Structure 1
Amino acid sequence: MNDGLDEPRPRRLRPLWTVLTVVVLLLLACGLPAVLVAGVLSERGGPAVLRRAGSGADDPATRAGRELADRIAAVLRRQSAALLAGDQAGFLAVAEPAAHADLRRRFAALRALKVTTWRAEVTGLPAEAAGRPGEWRLLVRFQYCFVVPGCQPSPVLAGTRWRDDGGQPRLVAVEESKSVETGTRPWEVSELVVATGARTVVATTPALRAKLPGLLAQAEAAAKVADGYALGAEPPDRYRIFYAGPAEWKRWYGGGRPKWTGGYAVTVGGGHHEVVLNSEGAAAGVDELLRHELTHAASLPDRGYPGTATWWLVEGLAEYAGATGRTVDRYEGLGDVRRLVQSGWNGRLDGLAPADDASAERVAGSYGVGYLAVRHLVDRFGEPRLLDFFRAVVHERVPVDRAAEQVFGEPWPALHDECVAYVRARVA
């Protein structure tokens, strides 16, 4: 399946998923019985607090569960230390032989990504694994950093299975996270080859290894542009980029992207976004696509953006960065904007976001309108004030009307109409 990416002007990104999900769904997806659920993850990713319903502190089953959880935690600490030390034998030693192939691949991928932090935190009590006599299931929160020591780590929740004969618990399997907010990470399921630069880390599959040197050079150049749009305290410590083959595109981070998607950025917590490019759809315009997606990683907050009404601003800024150094009349999407305008566009920026099943031409026109609207605001007020407006609307969730008054000193309805008039004038 070619996902429609050979159509004219395949575009960029579905709205970023946010980490605002009821964890009951996640826990059920990982196979934990509903009776164990008594808490949720905080918006910042704190671990759920799980207790057996109706159990008191002195309940024998609860005490036994806590004792097993403590012993599993000790095993996971030893395994984490082995990973960070590059000790593959130690990493595998805690597990049953049947788990070694999967763990060996995970170990190699994480070491290739230059893992610098790896913590495994038990989140609750073990539960008997349904249909697996003698096995226990436990949700574990893994936290990781790549390349940079001491970064604010990204969390991922995964189910683990264990055997216990009263001695050291033995790891039977680590399940794919399949978390409802982000989906499975590449290092959980794929062999990876990796190249690291001053600002980026780029990973792909062994089959695409030959692409790595060029991708790294392009990513490093794009990072210099994206850093100029960073709205956090500092730019990202490293931009994390995964270049997906056809099978990986359908699997990494849950797959299932709209047919017109050539790349996307997804928030993974800890202030980090991870960027995925589709090798089948990105080849013709990797430089621009990287500038676009890395600008998302630099400019967006950890929790994503407020909704489709601000899509034009989020994507418009990324398109503006992607077109860096290009005059408006050289923007490649002007023809698509013209067709969108002539097809009866209603002139509302807040209704610009394309549907998942939209045609590539409709998608390109929407991105182009966002670009032109942002370009007009930059031309009128300058980049610093445009970024102040973006920060107010996207990071601080200030309503657009109030943000326009605060930042630009003008009413938003008038500015909105100016932007729309500018769009129409450029394609008349």
Structure 2
Amino acid sequence: MAGRRSASRAGLSLVLLLAALVGCGGRAAPDTADADVRQLLQRRATAVLDRDEAGFRATGDAAAAVTGFANLRDVPLASWSYRLTGLHRSGDSATATAELRYRIEGYDAAPVSADRALRLTRAAGAWHIASDEPAGKAADQLWDQGPVTAVRGEHSLVLGVGQPRERLRSFADLADHAVPAVSDAWDTGWARHVVVLVPKSLEAMAGLLGAPASGYRGIAAVTIGEVGEANPGSPRPETGGGSAKAPADRIIVNPDAYGVLGDFGKQVVLTHETTHVATRARTTGATPLWLSEGYADWVGYRSGGRAPRRVAPELERAVSGGHVPAALPDDADFGFSADAARLARAYEGGWMACRLIADHWGEVRLNDFYRAVGEHRERAGAVEGALRDVLHTTPQEFTELWRQYLEGQLG
């Protein structure tokens, strides 16, 4: 009997050993984290579009989910999706990177892309989003900064954070005036509506641009396109601030600098920036800043009836003192590192050049000139070719005529 028990124990031990060996040598259970997180992101995207707060909360930690949904609640979205680009798991925690793509309903011709960093936790076998933030040096989205308030105008959508609704309404009124004014000057096909973002502060504005706040101090507004490239507004008290495709332009306001402007200056800022939206599809790497910024200022001041001396005080001071610029402003003159007077003269010089073309050749030719420059394949030869083909002049003749115009208008 004892021998049989020993043999049985030996047999049982052998079976257990074989089972253990088979377990060690077999395939491990597959890690489904990647697929699970993709499904989680899809559920969150669906909840955002469906305005499903319960569904949104089910995808994240309670407090973060409540805040995230509240921040987005007022944003009119036509699409919202995530593409998982990276996942690093450590037990029941994980970090992920994803590309967020979204469109604002009625305004964006194509999705805006934003890189996101997500922190994930797993409980009871299910993954949840603990945080969803800009990845690395990526710019903020407006809802990253707090609950968004939306105000609709006839030609505009104003989205703000930390701003009273009545102030956002004032931006919508200004934008609604700017859009027809721009369309009257630039009738080449554009959407004829704008999205204006009004953050809480200069620092928040810089967050939307993914740039240091110091670079935008005194800048009333900027316009950005789908790749985050900014056309800066002028730092002068009177004014505000490409690619071939422009699916989603945004005018971003610096509430600190904008708030000190008078009513006329505020309108010029919004009209200037709206001009950048309208002309972006015709503004390329071949377009010099004196033309893009000068044209935007020309539209901004076109119906204001202001004399050149009032619009171009820095340039008037230089010309009156006998210092007539020898050449049109170059791109470096528009840099934020330039002193304020030099920067102002650059904008004023560009404005006067566009005003000269409109006065001497007509507004139609000015628009034709702008388009011809942007259609050139590269910067070299773009202005020269447009001067020759549209205005039938040369760079030397045009520069001399511009210098004479400055003396006549400002001297």
TM-score class normalised by the smaller sequence:
0.7 to 0.9
* Alpha-carbon distance change, 138 to 385 in structure 1, aligned in 2, over 3 angstroms: farther
Secondary structure of 2:297's partner?
helix
- 1:94-124 alpha-carbon deviations (Å, 9 max, x no partner): 112353244234322xxx221122122223x
Matched-pair contact (CA < 8 Å) for 1:231–1:391: no
Q: Following TM superposition, by how much is the alpha carbon of 1:78 offset from its aligned partner in structure 2, in angstroms? A: 1.9
Could you tell me which residue of structure 1 aligns to residue 403 of structure 2? Answer: 420
Report the secondary structure of 2:150's partner residue: strand
Please give the secondary structure, in 1, of the residue aligned with 2:226: strand
Deviation of 1:375 after TM superposition, in Å, equals 0.8
- Deviation string, structure 1 residues 347-383 (Cα, Å, up to 9, x no partner): 2224262342444443332211111100111222322
Who is 1:385 aligned against?
365
Q: Is the 8 A contact 1:116 1:149 kept in 2?
A: no
* Partner AA of 2:49 in structure 1: L
Runs of at least 5 residues in structure 2 that lack an aligned partner in the other structure: 1-26, 228-245
Instruction: Give yes or no for contact 1:310–1:350 (8 Å, CA) kept in 2.
Output: no
* TM-score, length of structure 1 as denominator length: 0.73
Aligned to 2:120: 162
Judged with a 3 Å threshold, the aligned counterparts in structure 2 of structure 1 residues 227 and 136 are, in CA distance, closer, same or farther, namely farther
2-side partners of 1:149 and 1:329: how far apart? 36
- In structure 2, the partner of 1:252 is 208
Could you tell me how far 1:200 is from its partner in structure 2? 0.7
Equivalence map 1:37-52=2 (5 Å): none
CA change 1:127–1:347 in 2 (3 A) is farther
1:195 CA displacement: 0.5
Matching of residue 199 in structure 1 with residue 155 in structure 2: yes
The number of residues matched between the two structures is 355
Deviation at 1:220, TM superposition (A): 0.6
Give the deviation of 1:240 after TM superposition.
Answer: 1.0
**Identity between Structure 1 and Structure 2 (%):** 19
- Aligned equivalent of 1:87, options 45, 52, 69: 52
Which structure has greater helix proportion? 2
**Post-superposition offset of 1:164:** 4.5
Task: Give matches, 1:365-384, under 5 Å.
Answer: 365-384=345-364
How do 1:79-118 and structure 2 match up within 5 A?
79-108=44-73, 112-118=74-80
Q: Is the 8 A contact 1:401 1:413 kept in 2?
A: no
1:134-190 deviation line (CA, Å, top 9, x unaligned): 43232222222223188322111212222346944321211124655xx22222222
Unmatched 5+ stretches in structure 1: 1-59
Alpha-carbon distance in structure 2 between the residues aligned to 1:337 and 1:228 = 28
**Equivalent pair of 2:145/2:161 in contact (CA under 8 Å):** no
Within the candidate set 267, 272, 294, 1:292 is matched to 272
Q: Deviations 1:290-331 (Å, cap 9, x if unpaired)?
A: 0001111111249x7428x81110110110111021346256
When residues 148 and 396 of structure 1 are mapped into structure 2, their CA distance, relative to the original with a 3 A threshold, is: farther
Q: Is the 8 A contact 1:260 1:359 kept in 2?
A: no
1:235 aligns with 2:190: yes
Tell me which of the two structures has the higher relative contact order, counting C-alpha pairs closer than 8 angstroms and 6 or more residues apart.
Answer: 1
Of the two, which has the highest radius of gyration?
Answer: 2
Q: Which residue of 2 aligns with 1:337?
A: 315
User: What's 1:277 paired with?
Assistant: 253
1:126 to 75, 87, 101: 87
Call closer, same or farther: CA 1:218–1:415 in 2, change over 3 Å.
same
Instruction: Measure, in 1, the Cα distance between the counterparts of 2:101 and 2:315.
Output: 43
Once the two structures are TM-superposed, the CA of residue 417 in structure 1 deviates from its matched residue by 2.6
CA gap of 1:405–1:240, structure 2 versus 1, over 3 A, is same
1:67-91 alpha-carbon deviations (Å, 9 max, x no partner): 5333322222221121111111211
How far did 1:397 drift?
Answer: 4.1
Letter of the aligned partner of 1:119 in structure 2? S
Distance in 1, Cα, partners of 2:129 & 2:396 = 60
Match of 1:7 in 2: none
Indicate the larger mover: 312-321 or 67-76.
Answer: 67-76
Aligned partners of 1:390, 1:286: CA distance in 2, in Å?
Answer: 25
CA–CA distance in structure 2, aligned partners of residues 163 and 396 of structure 1: 52
| 1:157 partner SS | strand
How far apart are the structure 2 equivalents of 1:295 and 1:176?
A: 29
Taking a change above 3 Å as real, the CA distance of residues 107 and 192 of structure 1, as seen in their structure-2 partners, is: closer
Whole-angstrom distance in 1 between the partners of 2:187 and 2:88: 43
Counterpart in the other structure of 2:145: 189
Instruction: Report the 3-state secondary structure (helix = DSSP H, G, I; strand = E; otherwise coil) of the residue aligned with 1:140.
Output: strand
**1:317 alignment counterpart:** 295
Task: Spell out, residue by residue over 1:267-297, the C-alpha distance to the aligned partner (whole angstroms, 9 max, x if none).
Answer: 1355222111222222322111100011111
Letter in 1 for 2:190: P
Q: Does 1:402 align with 2:385?
A: yes
Q: Contact (CA 8 Å) 1:176, 1:189: kept in 2 or not?
A: no
The two structures, once aligned, show a CA RMSD in angstroms of 3.1
> CA shift at 1:388, angstroms?
2.6
Once residues 93 and 181 of structure 2 are traced to their aligned partners in structure 1, the CA distance between those partners, rounded to angstroms, is: 51
State whether residues 389 and 404 of structure 1, in contact with CA within 8 Å, keep that contact through their aligned partners in structure 2.
yes
Instruction: Report which stretch shifted further, 89-98 or 372-381.
Output: 89-98
